[in-house]
Amino acid sequence: MRTSIATVSLSGSLTEKLNAAARAGFDGVEIFENDLLASPLTPEEVRDRCADLGLTIDLYQPMRDVEALPAEEFARTLRRARHKFELMRRLGADTVLVCSSVSPLAVDDDALAAGQLARLADLAQDFGIRVAYEALAWGRHVSTYDHAWRIVEAAGHPALGTCLDSFHILSRGSDPRGIEGIPGEKIFFLQLADAPRLAMDVLQWSRHHRCFPGQGGFDVAGLVRHVLRTGYDGPLSLEVFNDVFRQSDAGATAVDAQRSLRLLQEQVGLTAPPAPVVPTGVAFAELVTPDAEPVAALLGALGFARTARHRGGKPVDLWQQGQARVLVNTGTAARREGTHLAAVGLESPDPAGAARRAEALLAPVLPRRRAPQDAPLEAVAAPDGTELFFCATGREALPDWRADFPAAGPGAPRATGVRRIDHLSLTQPWHHFDEAALFHRSVLGLRAQESVDVADPYGLLRSRAVTNADGSVRIVLTVGPAPADDTAHAQHIALATDDVVAAARRFRAAGGRLLPIPANYYDDLAARHEFADGELETYRELGILYDRDTHGGVFRHCYTHTVGRVFFELVQREGGYRGYGAQNAPVRLAAQHAVRALTGG
Ligand SMILES: O=C(O)c1ccc(O)c(O)c1
Ligand SMILES: [Mg+2]
């Protein structure tokens, strides 16, 4: 189906918005009146610009406070409408949105509302324009879609139809099944928005917290299925009022928006892009660093051994322990950014299929070879710039990414307790958080868990895990408050072990520094849980944090010092514990701030 986006959903000038919408592949736009009023372009220039960009103007909006008015007030409204219709003719827009009145002058009289809307539609018809009447969730007398439809039906005018907006319908908890009772040709427009479930005033909720379908808590796809059963064949149009999107790069937001519609169209059966190929493990994590020594020291103390070096002579080493593999890249890219987690290798049952899926969902596909001599590897860029490689490790039918890393002699991994990478924590730029979760769900087929708020001493973090079904891929997406805050913006690699106490002791004995945790934390733990003799003292001594879930699952974890933006965590999961110790995160963050204040790093 045709896709459209309201200019209010994007940041910037009208020109910037139109460019971004076109580049992301939208077929049309809803022009928000304020965007036009603030533009130096004449309506004709806007029309021509849209035509040049291949965009149709699907809707002009909004007209407010039109219906159920005293006669003299309604006369003024018609005068206003005539002006707008003339403007729309110059723009080449043929549908106007009228939202239900919030005016204190409006009366609760459906017959009057229907009569006046019919008169408005009469005037519109003279201009070749259609009127789409939408119930705002906070409308004075009309606040539900079925009520708006009853008025449209009563008016019985060919140039008057209804506009459905998923936010207004789902925020009020209206039953969307009733949509199927509206003839498709009387649904003049369909606006789509999702939103997180928040207990707040619906107007504020709508104006500040809408997001793209799939990013919130509404069943937008379910609503669209009902709309499609009516025979509606107009555009799927995104209308998202969102404080973050208003400030972030319009190009990226438009791609995020288009991706959400691609997923939605797949969910409702309108399209069949290549199916997601869910990753089945983490093949490697790649650190890029300007200074290999501290990274090598940290990995060595954790029990990793350098087992291979890139055969093309690139400055990339493979460090390994159990199934945990870390690439250390000291190439040129490192100079600018310092030590950071730059890439993740995802074990993929079908790397080529995964890349096709990614492309269909508008993920930026990266060159398959980084250098001419490299084995080809499918890769895409995540919204935070992390490179995701789709690869195979030790599987018959597929080329092994390790072919580029011939073993560097006997150097057997130091046998220690780390089995594999448990999870990766990636910090997102503040304006890419919702986009990141949708990206990992739609492109990789991972599941997103609820987002949790974590108090950092200097601000609030939000964090949301995306995982595969068996938990062999777990990525924690985190967003911090202050872009300049290094602690909140660190990334980390969590390593799974069966005995975190032994692993922590070995790490320390090998010269590693564990993050010290304040005594108050352990006093509180003693109050909350019962421990065997000496157990708590061991945790206290090593800085091991502890959590227990409601099903008896237990989590023990501790943290290394930080190098650049990266630190490691040692984790021991027991009894099916599925979380990440969110309860302990504020203590960990405060401890990291304290270390940073003391050492400057
Ligand atoms: O918040 C508003 O006023 C507003 C305006 C137009 C719409 O289509 C809408 O859904 C909300
Ligand atoms: Mg709307």
Residue ending a domain, choose from 267, 299, 317: 267
For the CA of 134, the nearest atom of ligand 1: 8
Distance of CA 554 to the CA centre of its chain: 29
Asked if 356 and 503 sit in the same domain, the reply is yes
Asked if 466 and 572 sit in the same domain, the reply is yes
Alpha carbon of 134 to ligand 2 centroid (Å): 7
The answer to whether residue 303 sits within a structural domain is yes
Least confident residue range of 248-262, 275-289, 412-426? 412-426
pLDDT at 96: 98
CA separation for the pair 288, 263 (Å, rounded): 33
pLDDT at 413: 57
The answer to whether residue 258 sits within a structural domain is yes
* pLDDT one-digit tens code per residue, 515-547: 999 999 999 999 999 999 999 999 999 999 999
Asked if 389 and 259 sit in the same domain, the reply is no
Residues 6+ away with beta carbon under 8 Å from 37: none
CA distances from 408 to 284, 309, 311, 490, 551 (A): 18, 7, 10, 31, 45
Q: Domain tally for the chain? A: 2
What pTM, to 2 d.p., does this model score?
0.95
Least confident residue range of 24-28, 108-112, 456-460, 530-534? 456-460
Note the ligand closest to the C-alpha atom of 97: 1
Asked if 488 and 372 sit in the same domain, the reply is yes
Residue ending a domain, choose from 267, 298, 327: 267
Has residue 311 got a pLDDT over 80? yes
Q: Contacts by 388-391 with C-beta closer than 8 Å and gap 24+?
A: 388/343, 388/344, 388/346, 388/444, 389/283, 389/343, 389/344, 389/345, 389/346, 390/277, 390/279, 390/346, 390/348, 390/351, 390/354, 390/355, 391/283, 391/345, 391/346, 391/347, 391/348, 391/351
Q: Which of 30, 34, 102, 134 is the pocket-test mutation for ligand 1 (most atoms within 8 Å of CB)? A: 134
- The mean per-residue pLDDT over the stretch 352-375 comes to 89
Asked if 366 and 256 sit in the same domain, the reply is no
Asked if 292 and 248 sit in the same domain, the reply is no
Asked if 295 and 177 sit in the same domain, the reply is no
Residue ending a domain, choose from 267, 290, 320: 267
Instruction: Kindly report the CATH number assigned to the domain that includes residue 457.
Output: 3.10.180.10
Note the ligand closest to the C-alpha atom of 165: 2
The SS3 call for residue 179 is helix
- The mean per-residue pLDDT over the stretch 480-493 comes to 76
Alpha carbon of 251 to ligand 2 centroid (Å): 22
Asked if 375 and 448 sit in the same domain, the reply is yes
pLDDT at 334: 60
The answer to whether residue 274 sits within a structural domain is no
Query: Which has more pLDDT, 371 or 573?
Result: 573
* 134 known member of a binding site: yes
Alpha carbon of 191 to ligand 2 centroid (Å): 6
Average pLDDT over the chain reads 94
- The mean per-residue pLDDT over the stretch 2-26 comes to 98
The answer to whether residue 465 sits within a structural domain is yes
Asked if 379 and 511 sit in the same domain, the reply is yes
For the CA of 62, the nearest atom of ligand 1: 6
Asked if 577 and 489 sit in the same domain, the reply is yes
Alpha carbon of 161 to ligand 2 centroid (Å): 14
Per cent of the chain over pLDDT 90 is 87
Nearest CA to ligand 1 atom 1: 207
Alpha carbon of 206 to ligand 2 centroid (Å): 9
Note the ligand closest to the C-alpha atom of 61: 1
pLDDT at 558: 98
Instruction: Kindly report the CATH number assigned to the domain that includes residue 127.
Output: 3.20.20.150
Has residue 474 got a pLDDT over 60? yes
Q: What is the band of 482 on the pLDDT scale with cuts at 50, 70, 90?
A: low
Has residue 131 got a pLDDT over 60? yes
Strand segments (E) across 505-565: 545-548, 554-563
* 569 known member of a binding site: yes
The answer to whether residue 272 sits within a structural domain is no
The answer to whether residue 8 sits within a structural domain is yes
Alpha carbon of 447 to ligand 2 centroid (Å): 29
Walk across the sheet containing 566-574 and list its strands.
447-456, 459-467, 474-479, 418-428, 491-497, 566-574, 554-563, 545-548
Asked if 247 and 364 sit in the same domain, the reply is no
The answer to whether residue 144 sits within a structural domain is yes
- The mean per-residue pLDDT over the stretch 382-401 comes to 93
* 593 known member of a binding site: no
Has residue 306 got a pLDDT over 80? yes
Complex-level ipTM: 0.99
Residue ranges lining ligand 1, Cβ < 6 Å: 61-62, 97, 99, 134, 136, 165, 191, 206-207, 239
pLDDT at 485: 67
Has residue 255 got a pLDDT over 80? yes
Has residue 444 got a pLDDT over 80? yes
* 378 known member of a binding site: no
Query: Which has more pLDDT, 337 or 133?
Result: 133
pLDDT at 429: 84
- Domain extent, residue 54, equals 3-267
Q: What is the band of 309 on the pLDDT scale with cuts at 50, 70, 90?
A: very high
- The mean per-residue pLDDT over the stretch 220-228 comes to 98
Run of H or E including 443: helix 433-444
* pLDDT one-digit tens code per residue, 32-59: 999 999 999 999 999 999 999 999 999 9
* 537 known member of a binding site: no
pLDDT at 283: 97
The answer to whether residue 586 sits within a structural domain is yes
CA separation for the pair 444, 380 (Å, rounded): 11
Asked if 483 and 543 sit in the same domain, the reply is yes
Note the ligand closest to the C-alpha atom of 192: 2
